[in-house]
C-alpha cells in the first residue's frame, strides 16, 4: 500500500496560479504597460510644466500608472490570498491518501473537517507527474496534489508505476 500525507501550502498555490498561461502573460504585460505609461507621464509632465497646458491628461496618466502598479502587486499576492481563504475554510487540514490495487481513499481531517472519499481508478479523469508533483483529477471538481516529500509509506516510483498500470493513457509524465 502507498500512503501520502499532504498539507496544502503556498508552494502548491503558486504552482496552480503560475501554471495558467494567462496569469503569466498578464504579469509580464501589466508591468511593461506601467513602465511605458510612467515614461509618458514623465515626458508629459515636463512638457506641461513648460507650457502649462493639458495638466488633466497628465493626472489621468498618473492615476492609470498607479492602478497598473496596484494590479501587478494584487496579482503577485494572489497565491497568498488563496491560501488564507483555504485556511479560513478548513484550518489545519491534513489530506491522507491511501492507494491500493482497486482504487484510493482520501481522508481530509482537520479542525473543521472530517471527510473520507473513495475512488476507483476508472473515476480518475487524468493524472500527471511533473516537477515533484503528482496531480490526480477525479470527476470535475476533485483534484489531489501530492508532493514527492509527502510519502509516508511507499515511494514516488511505486506510485508512478501503479498509476501507469491502472490508468494507462490517462497518466502523463511531463
Taking the C-alpha atoms of residue 142 and residue 87, their distance in angstroms, rounded to an integer, is 18
Mean confidence (pLDDT) of the chain: 80
Q: How confident is the model at residue 9, as a pLDDT? A: 57
Q: How confident is the model at residue 63, as a pLDDT? A: 84
Only one residue has cell 490570498, namely 81
What are the backbone dihedrals phi and psi of residue 52, each rounded to the nearest 5 degrees, phi first?
80, 15
Taking the C-alpha atoms of residue 52 and residue 130, their distance in angstroms, rounded to an integer, is 59
- pLDDT tens, residue by residue, 158-168: 999 999 999 99
SS3 at position 113: coil
Kindly tell me if the per-residue pLDDT of 51 is higher than 80: no
- Count CB atoms within 10 A of the CB of residue 73: 9
- pLDDT tens, residue by residue, 23-39: 777 777 778 888 887 77
Taking the C-alpha atoms of residue 14 and residue 137, their distance in angstroms, rounded to an integer, is 18
What are the backbone dihedrals phi and psi of residue 53, each rounded to the nearest 5 degrees, phi first?
-115, 160
Q: What is the pTM of this model?
A: 0.59
Q: What is the 3-state secondary structure (H, E, C) of 132-168?
A: CEEEEEECCCEEEEEEHHHEEECCHHHHHHHHHHHHH
Taking the C-alpha atoms of residue 60 and residue 25, their distance in angstroms, rounded to an integer, is 25
- pLDDT tens, residue by residue, 55-86: 777 777 788 888 888 888 888 788 778 777 76
Amino acid at each position: 500500500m502507498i500512503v501520502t500525507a499532504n498539507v496544502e501550502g503556498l508552494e502548491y498555490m503558486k504552482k496552480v496560479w503560475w501554471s495558467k498561461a494567462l496569469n503569466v502573460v498578464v504579469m509580464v504585460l501589466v508591468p511593461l504597460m506601467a513602465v511605458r505609461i510612467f515614461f509618458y507621464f514623465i515626458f508629459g509632465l515636463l512638457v506641461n510644466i513648460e507650457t502649462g497646458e493639458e495638466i488633466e491628461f497628465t493626472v489621468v496618466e498618473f492615476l492609470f500608472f498607479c492602478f497598473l502598479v496596484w494590479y501587478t502587486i494584487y496579482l503577485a499576492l494572489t497565491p497568498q490570498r488563496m491560501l488564507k481563504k483555504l485556511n479560513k475554510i478548513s484550518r489545519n487540514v491534513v489530506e491522507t491518501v491511501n492507494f491500493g490495487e482497486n482504487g484510493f481513499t482520501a481522508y481530509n481531517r482537520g479542525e473543521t473537517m472530517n471527510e473520507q472519499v473513495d475512488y476507483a481508478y476508472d473515476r480518475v479523469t487524468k493524472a500527471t507527474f511533473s516537477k515533484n508533483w503528482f496531480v490526480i483529477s477525479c470527476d470535475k471538481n476533485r483534484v489531489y496534489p501530492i508532493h514527492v516529500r509527502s510519502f509516508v509509506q511507499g515511494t514516488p516510483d511505486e506510485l508512478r508505476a501503479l498509476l501507469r498500470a491502472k490508468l494507462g493513457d490517462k497518466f502523463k509524465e511531463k
